Structure 1
């Protein structure tokens, strides 16, 4: 029996006899005789044998039965028709067939751990024994994790178990540090023969042992290191091999809940299963298992999937609260960039799928993932349509001021301009904290009329206007003009939204600049939160021109479950639009980009994508810092935006989570119209273009959005600040 006692570093004492019994779950004397000649490879202490009331036995093989979970009970059906269906009561823990035992509790136990903790536990079986875990042994260790045992303690206990069977594991108490490292490389990384570790690799890890690192901790460290090579051209196969072993172990022990009936089989056959896994396939290992489809816990697990929560496709459009929450968990487990770091929380604690989604997001790494109603988002990205007055507002001290106005909108008709102050709405003052009624009046979600008192910039008195909200169509290119400055032609363009309807006006503006043969371009992205990545790609090509043709714009990196998508999503600079028409090219050596704290995602991809090929001069404020992106995924009329990928440019650069800092730090200037050469950020760009240096100017941080208002202010909605693929396959623009 495995006992824990305090004795310095050796916290664990092992009894080989008890380990032999444990591997069989406390089985018969015949099992013990069969196990007597087999070294104790199952790292689990004695588990109390199930009583007759806990076990249901069947004469056939597991493959010949379907097991369906219905609430707290299971229905077992003989597919060969030899026996009538059997319902297992809630007290049943085990189904015993002629070839396997099925642990009915393993699914619930596994779901109680975070994905990271469960995978780390399974990894230890592979690392120390090069085998997949049996469900009974894994269930025991899950219980120990739940009871507070640390991963470091568990790793040390696995190592001590491995020492009991040197003939099979290769580990011995007298082995050198170098030999220990070689075995880890063999078991964990599959590196033997021509791919065996070199002297430098061995020396590095061996020095860690000499410095006092426990051997169990060493194995954990190498496991972590191995997964850092997922996209490496030389060693990426190592990560794939390790992940495939993890997947087949999950399938065997968790999805199917399997343990063999004898200790000998439980050791030799699980080792054979692990040995059959390659870096490109698990099919041979599945064939050795011989059980396909119909896994236990069907409400959590879909047939043929490798994750314990099932496939999103199998759970999609089950539009009940529980059904939607099951889909949320499956979706995140499949595509989320940080799926391994998700901490499991009980779905029942959350009243809506959206709140459950938010609770699962890894807040330490992710401040961007979100959900929203599908309809409004689809309307916006496809046509730029939204119910509003057509203005964008910002809080500046005690004032609420207009940043810009959409042409032809109710705000434009009321002659609101950049810098106009909204003094009151419906005769209520807007100088202090806003009430819900004021928010609703400022940012209506349906057609309604409200009165406003406004004061224009430099006006001596205020005026009263009435506005009726309506469906406003966004003009993504708000302004394009050619400025003559010191004998040079400088193109200036205000671009606010990477939406489908942006392509045509962008091409028109850039062709205008091309025909005028502009000497420089000032691209104003201060209010551009992003959107479709393909629009950013097209615009970048039009700016840089022939120098970037056939060069990488952005390489997208998905999680390690989707290495195929990472390989497919090397995005080269597009030289044609979505109708396969050649894009105009400015062929400029540099570009000035006006930035703000709201310059985000796809807009930052323009900056990052162009940097390896031309001078990119930023004027304004630090950008938002969002190198991540989404594929909008809809379920039951809700749009889910979980971060699915990160992006790097042709130079491999992409870590700008703190944003891009401007060369010239210049405050936003609401007292001048966009395009006015006296407007502070444009003026700074023009000065730099002429003199090569930043003008002396004071800087004030950007004012915050209206407190509590990002949900209501359409310009501050999270879906206005994203990097978005139309599909997971970026090549399909």
Structure 2
């Protein structure tokens, strides 16, 4: 995502009217006070504590779009406005819909750019563990967002990166490559660590020009960009390849497999993102599992940052089946205290999300008459990391709400029992926390994540094993550390001998490591320059988006 910078300059003009009298004596001069008329404002203004209707400012843009939206076929709603009107819309929208609206500082919008103003329209409170209460506040260019969520296509090389450290000495490791992408065709394996890019020292270069060049090379704006990569592989050997960027088709479901174990047949699949294009692949995977009489299932959600709530409901149904989900609620959404009966975003009466047992026509927003396959399992193994978030956690929580045993293998999830309705205004799509989800038992308090443990004491602690992400083996390989732990636990009920929880915390990657790296640099007065990292806001390109669908209606 390309960052766009705005400059907001506030001019304060003070007019002082002085009245007085001249020297003494009868001959003194008299000064007559002059009253001036203040200028009439030509536009809206900010008044602390006063919030006008969103409709007053929506689609009034400093730079209106023209023409037709290629994804909806409708003309853009934009009209000529101002940056202030964009900010005032954000302010009113936040006050109406943000879950913690009463924890937002009402700062003067004149002191911020549009995006800068949005970035501070959030709670500054902390969770019980001392982390930020709202780590999920971000925005994205609307065209870019729609391209991925509607079509599953994004621009790049096909790498999914693990950002171990984004300041010098940097470390960027390949998690996996999208099938048939330029990166996959170049045979860049999981675990490869980036050393140089276009001849620039990726690990150590700390010049502004170097960092700018690194960012430009890592995240090309257009297809057809040729970039030279030098990697160090797991065995220490080098790999130098030239890769040409292209439009990448994201494959949400990968590495579907069935393993013969002592407990019978165990199904496995890697699931990377809850986007609408995943539905057919998920159905194919579960059809295979049903046909092969799978009795155990491992779902690999280690890099799944979330997506469609309806799709999460479908996945949960395919695991649990009709009997366990009958008359049960997948998730109930709770909005702010202004909206106890009505959804503040849609204006509709509040209703819970059921376990969807039918295929969904996501384009029309309707349930079809076609039933989904289901395994009717009473236990499922879920592989997780700190990048497992939102809709992924909702699946875990929903299954536990109907007494399906969820065994967690890996590390603590990101902790997001919250969701939002992505909302476009003036070409930017905004994501602000608008609801908390709770399961069929009313539980949704896992803001610090679900945690695997051998002796659960709290509802956010799950039975399972703390295991590091293993970059030495391919995903889906039964010898890969996390999958091997899941298969072993299934067979014996015991966890493998692994490093301590403290070591896991020290070795954890992604946004938590990067945050500590930045904090350490600041504490030391360092001037380390950070490369861009989409994962700081989105573990995948659509991280934390639990709702991105029209209201699902039953097709008659």
Give the TM-score, by structure 2 length. 0.74
Query: How is 1:440-519 mapped onto 2 (pairs within 5 angstroms)?
Result: 440-447=216-223, 448-458=225-235, 461-486=237-262, 488-519=264-295
Q: Is 2:356 the counterpart of 1:574?
A: yes
Task: Write the deviation string for residues 73-106 of structure 1: whole angstroms up to 9, x where unpaired.
Answer: 99xxxxxxxxxxxxxxxxxxxxxxxxxxxxxxxx
Find the aligned partners of 1:714 and 1:73 in 2 and give their Cα distance: 37
Find the aligned partners of 1:482 and 1:559 in 2 and give their Cα distance: 44
1:112 to 48, 54, 77: 48
Equivalent residues of 1:552, 1:571 under 8 A apart: yes
Shift of 1:725: 1.6
Q: Which stretches in structure 1 are left out of the alignment for 5+ residues?
A: 1-52, 55-68, 75-106, 114-307
In structure 1, the residue corresponding to 2:318 is in which secondary structure? helix
Which residue pairs with 1:606 in the alignment?
A: 395
1:409 to 181, 192, 196: 181
2:377 to 578, 581, 588: 588
Which residue pairs with 1:527 in the alignment?
A: 303
Find the aligned partners of 1:624 and 1:522 in 2 and give their Cα distance: 19
Q: Is 2:57 the counterpart of 1:323?
A: no
Q: Report the CA distance shift for 1:636/1:717 in structure 2 as closer, same or farther (over 3 A).
A: farther
Equivalent residues of 1:569, 1:729 under 8 A apart: no
Equivalent residues of 2:313, 2:355 under 8 A apart: yes
Find the aligned partners of 1:422 and 1:343 in 2 and give their Cα distance: 41
Which residue pairs with 1:563 in the alignment?
A: 340
Equivalent residues of 2:215, 2:532 under 8 A apart: no
Find the aligned partners of 1:498 and 1:732 in 2 and give their Cα distance: 21
Which residue pairs with 2:523 in the alignment?
A: none
1:631 to 421, 432, 444: 421
Q: Report the CA distance shift for 1:476/1:728 in structure 2 as closer, same or farther (over 3 A).
A: closer
Shift of 1:329: 1.0
Find the aligned partners of 1:478 and 1:710 in 2 and give their Cα distance: 27
Task: Write the deviation string for residues 614-660 of structure 1: whole angstroms up to 9, x where unpaired.
Answer: 10000000000011101011111111111111010000000100100
Find the aligned partners of 2:399 and 2:542 in 1 and give their Cα distance: 22
Q: Report the CA distance shift for 1:729/1:710 in structure 2 as closer, same or farther (over 3 A).
A: farther
Instruction: Answer with 339-348 or 713-722: which moved more.
Output: 713-722
In structure 2, the residue corresponding to 1:607 is in which secondary structure? helix
In structure 1, the residue corresponding to 2:408 is in which secondary structure? strand
Q: Report the CA distance shift for 1:375/1:717 in structure 2 as closer, same or farther (over 3 A).
A: farther
Q: Report the CA distance shift for 1:709/1:648 in structure 2 as closer, same or farther (over 3 A).
A: farther
Shift of 1:513: 0.6
Task: Write the deviation string for residues 302-357 of structure 1: whole angstroms up to 9, x where unpaired.
Answer: xxxxxx4222223211112111111111111111111122221001101x222111
Which residue pairs with 2:405 in the alignment?
A: 615
With CA pairs under 8 Å and 6+ residues apart, which has the higher RCO, 1 or 2? 2
Find the aligned partners of 1:360 and 1:429 in 2 and give their Cα distance: 37
Q: Report the CA distance shift for 1:488/1:421 in structure 2 as closer, same or farther (over 3 A).
A: same
Which residue pairs with 2:114 in the alignment?
A: 353
In structure 2, the residue corresponding to 1:332 is in which secondary structure? helix
Equivalent residues of 1:490, 1:521 under 8 A apart: yes
Which residue pairs with 1:721 in the alignment?
A: 543
Q: Report the CA distance shift for 1:368/1:487 in structure 2 as closer, same or farther (over 3 A).
A: closer
RMSD: 2.7
Which residue pairs with 1:363 in the alignment?
A: 124
Q: Report the CA distance shift for 1:502/1:520 in structure 2 as closer, same or farther (over 3 A).
A: same
Which residue pairs with 1:393 in the alignment?
A: 161
Q: Report the CA distance shift for 1:658/1:433 in structure 2 as closer, same or farther (over 3 A).
A: farther
Equivalent residues of 2:173, 2:192 under 8 A apart: yes
Task: Write the deviation string for residues 681-711 of structure 1: whole angstroms up to 9, x where unpaired.
Answer: 1011001100012122125332235954454
In structure 1, the residue corresponding to 2:360 is in which secondary structure? coil
Query: How is 1:214-229 mapped onto 2 (pairs within 5 angstroms)?
Result: none
Equivalent residues of 1:726, 1:732 under 8 A apart: no
Which residue pairs with 1:428 in the alignment?
A: 200
Find the aligned partners of 2:350 and 2:226 in 1 and give their Cα distance: 50
Task: Write the deviation string for residues 240-266 of structure 1: whole angstroms up to 9, x where unpaired.
Answer: xxxxxxxxxxxxxxxxxxxxxxxxxxx
Q: Report the CA distance shift for 1:596/1:497 in structure 2 as closer, same or farther (over 3 A).
A: same
In structure 2, the residue corresponding to 1:617 is in which secondary structure? strand
Q: Report the CA distance shift for 1:388/1:713 in structure 2 as closer, same or farther (over 3 A).
A: farther
Q: Report the CA distance shift for 1:729/1:337 in structure 2 as closer, same or farther (over 3 A).
A: farther
Find the aligned partners of 1:462 and 1:625 in 2 and give their Cα distance: 37
Find the aligned partners of 1:439 and 1:550 in 2 and give their Cα distance: 50
Find the aligned partners of 2:95 and 2:124 in 1 and give their Cα distance: 16
Structure 1 or 2, whichever has the larger Rg, is 1
Query: How is 1:686-725 mapped onto 2 (pairs within 5 angstroms)?
Result: 686-699=487-500, 700=504, 701-704=507-510, 707=514, 708-709=530-531, 711-712=533-534, 716=538, 720-725=542-547
Find the aligned partners of 1:346 and 1:314 in 2 and give their Cα distance: 18
Find the aligned partners of 1:470 and 1:585 in 2 and give their Cα distance: 37
Find the aligned partners of 2:473 and 2:104 in 1 and give their Cα distance: 47
Task: Write the deviation string for residues 91-124 of structure 1: whole angstroms up to 9, x where unpaired.
Answer: xxxxxxxxxxxxxxxx97xx324xxxxxxxxxxx
Q: Report the CA distance shift for 1:70/1:564 in structure 2 as closer, same or farther (over 3 A).
A: farther
Which residue pairs with 1:71 in the alignment?
A: 41
Task: Write the deviation string for residues 384-414 of structure 1: whole angstroms up to 9, x where unpaired.
Answer: 1111111112245764321111001110011
Query: How is 1:131-170 mapped onto 2 (pairs within 5 angstroms)?
Result: none
Find the aligned partners of 1:314 and 1:555 in 2 and give their Cα distance: 31
Find the aligned partners of 1:607 and 1:670 in 2 and give their Cα distance: 25
Query: How is 1:296-335 mapped onto 2 (pairs within 5 angstroms)?
Result: 308-319=50-61, 320-335=82-97
Equivalent residues of 1:406, 1:478 under 8 A apart: no
Q: Report the CA distance shift for 1:685/1:715 in structure 2 as closer, same or farther (over 3 A).
A: farther
Shift of 1:531: 0.9
- Whose helix fraction is larger, Structure 1's or Structure 2's? 1
Find the aligned partners of 1:728 and 1:557 in 2 and give their Cα distance: 19
